[in-house]
């Protein structure tokens, strides 16, 4: 039912109800800028009880840095140059805490057009301002971080099949003053050997949500190794929508890793010394009785790889390393030089070297028990060792001793395997 237009009392009651119960701040302000009335929401914002708001100038709780802009707009309304205004400013509460607000001010005019009151609607935007500040800080931090990154972002709209590299990434690859790279141009820069690892197929199909690819990329600085973190964004129904990627040059880090791998002194599979490690350790050995060098090659190892796979072969190598190590002392050194070939250097006389060689052949005659994939049943594998050995009063020519032991080893293999061939004469 509509209200009669002349029913001023009811209209006033409705206005009063809406004013008092509004979820946002409401205030009536006189032409001197003093609060005539404020609701509870407004009272909470300014930190002044409702009964004490009357006649308080808004300048008293407005931040000094924001007051001039507010007063200027207020006076423009009084001068009839505008009917109202919207402004963001800060209130200072009695406890000195700051509240960020957005106020919408409208003039209430008499019949002659003169302003008699202002009505203000006030929104507390403190949380929004804090979120805006944090976002701005993060953006500044990200921009600062990106300045130190060798690379940049790219994104791909899956539905539109549109790929776009950022300006920073494009400039890193192609130099300044070039158009942004599309997918074809970017892929063309990837080393052909690495294109499979850079494939976006699983992400485009939605099979995975993220992965990391490493590939070589042709840039203005030459070919560089890039590590690219790629992530899939989905729509509300879970369908693949967009892929975003961050490509970072990690060439120097990769080279360091490669150097570390080259310089490592142990074999990653067996934990034994590698050839580099053996040379370093042998150079520190001392023995008044001389040194024996054994060259060892496994018999039947290839058949294990061919029949049961490389995982079984790796298990045999690891167990072989354990058996060989168990046959020597802590002052001796066992080395895996590659594949199923091992070298052992023993401090001691010729008799000690021969004894160790025979212990190793005997240790290898025990069958290897392998666990069959997908089954509780085990399988017995027969892998043995052929050994060639030499002895010298000094260790000055390690390479020569290993080569001579190798020649004796292959004589053992030619004469039936599973045995020891030890030169009775001192080397050289």
Instruction: Tell me the per-residue pLDDT of 193-232, one tens digit each, with 9 for 90 and over.
Output: 999 989 999 999 999 999 999 999 999 999 999 999 999 9
Place 1 in a pLDDT band, splitting at 50, 70 and 90: very low
Instruction: Decide: pTM greater than 0.75.
Output: no
Alpha carbon of 330 to those of 24, 345, 403: distances in Å?
82, 11, 24
pLDDT of residue 375: 56
Strand, coil or helix: 318:
helix
Place 167 in a pLDDT band, splitting at 50, 70 and 90: confident
pLDDT of residue 111: 87
Backbone angles phi, psi at 401, to 5 degrees: -65, -40
pLDDT of residue 166: 87
- Asked if the model's pLDDT at residue 151 lies above 60, the reply is yes
- Cα of first residue to Cα of last residue in the chain, in angstroms, is 121
Contact present, 310 and 403 (Cβ < 8 Å): no
- Asked if the model's pLDDT at residue 296 lies above 80, the reply is yes
pLDDT of residue 168: 86
pLDDT of residue 132: 84
The Cα 257–Cα 185 span in angstroms is: 30
pLDDT of residue 150: 81
Place 372 in a pLDDT band, splitting at 50, 70 and 90: low
CATH second-level architecture of 265-426? 2-Layer Sandwich (3.30)
Least confident window among 50-59, 89-98, 254-263, 308-317: 254-263
- Asked if the model's pLDDT at residue 58 lies above 80, the reply is yes
Other beta carbons within 10 angstroms of residue 198's beta carbon come to 20
- Asked if the model's pLDDT at residue 3 lies above 50, the reply is no
Place 379 in a pLDDT band, splitting at 50, 70 and 90: confident
Q: pLDDT exceeding 70 applies to what percent of the chain?
A: 94
Give domain limits for the chain.
8-127, 149-254, 265-426
pLDDT of residue 259: 79
CATH second-level architecture of 8-127? 2-Layer Sandwich (3.30)
Q: Do domains 8-127 and 265-426 have the same CATH topology?
A: no
Q: Considering only CA atoms, which of 309, 318, 314, 319 is closest in space to residue 373?
A: 309
What is the average pLDDT value for the chain, to the nearest integer?
Answer: 90
Helix, strand, coil % over all residues of the chain, rounded to 5: 40, 30, 30
pLDDT of residue 174: 92
Q: Considering only CA atoms, which of 48, 133, 152 is closest in space to residue 97?
A: 48
Helices (H), 327-397: 350-364
Strand, coil or helix: 23:
coil
CATH of domain 149-254: 3.30.450.20
């Amino acid at each position: 039912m509509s209200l009669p237009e002349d029913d001023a009392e009811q209209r006033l009651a409705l206005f009063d109800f809406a004013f008092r119960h509004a979820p946002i701040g409401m205030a009536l302000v006189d032409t001197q800028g003093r609060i005539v009335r404020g609701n509870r929401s407004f009272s909470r914002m300014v930190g002044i009880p409702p009964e004490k708001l009357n006649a308080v100038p808004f300048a008293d709780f407005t931040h000094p840095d924001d007051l001039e802009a507010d007063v200027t707009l207020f006076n423009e309304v009084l001068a009839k140059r505008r009917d109202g205004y919207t402004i963001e400013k800060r209130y200072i509460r009695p406890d000195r805490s700051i509240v960020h607000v957005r106020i919408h001010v409208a003039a209430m005019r008499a019949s002659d057009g003169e302003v008699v009151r202002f009505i203000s609607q006030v929104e507390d935007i403190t949380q929004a301002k804090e979120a805006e500040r944090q976002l701005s800080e993060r953006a500044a931090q990200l921009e600062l971080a990106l300045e130190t990154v060798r690379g940049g972002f790219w994104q791909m709209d899956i539905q539109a099949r549109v790929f776009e590299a950022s300006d920073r990434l494009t400039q890193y690859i192609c130099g300044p003053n070039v158009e942004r790279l599309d997918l074809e141009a970017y892929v063309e820069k990837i080393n052909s050997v690495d294109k499979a690892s850079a494939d976006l197929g699983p992400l485009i199909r939605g099979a995975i949500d993220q992965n990391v690819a490493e590939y070589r990329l042709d840039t203005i600085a030459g070919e560089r190794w890039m590590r690219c973190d790629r992530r899939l964004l989905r729509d509300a129904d879970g369908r693949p929508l967009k892929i975003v990627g961050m490509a970072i040059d990690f060439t120097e880090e990769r080279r360091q890793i490669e150097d570390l791998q080259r310089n490592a002194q142990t074999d990653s599979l067996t934990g034994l010394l590698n050839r580099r490690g053996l040379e370093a350790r042998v150079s520190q050995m001392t023995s008044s009785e001389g040194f024996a060098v054994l060259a060892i090659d496994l018999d039947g190892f290839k058949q294990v790889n061919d029949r049961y796979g490389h995982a079984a072969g790796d298990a045999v190598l690891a167990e072989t390393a354990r058996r060989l190590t168990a046959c020597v002392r802590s002052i001796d050194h066992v080395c895996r030089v590659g594949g199923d070939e091992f070298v052992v250097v023993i401090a001691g006389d010729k008799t000690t070297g021969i004894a160790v060689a025979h212990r190793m052949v005997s240790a290898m005659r025990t069958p290897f028990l392998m666990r069959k994939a997908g089954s509780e049943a085990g399988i017995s594998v027969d892998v043995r060792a052929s050994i060639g050995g030499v002895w010298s009063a000094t260790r000055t020519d390690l390479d020569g001793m290993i080569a001579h032991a190798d020649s004796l080893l292959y004589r053992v293999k030619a004469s039936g395997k599973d045995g020891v061939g030890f030169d009775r004469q001192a080397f050289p």
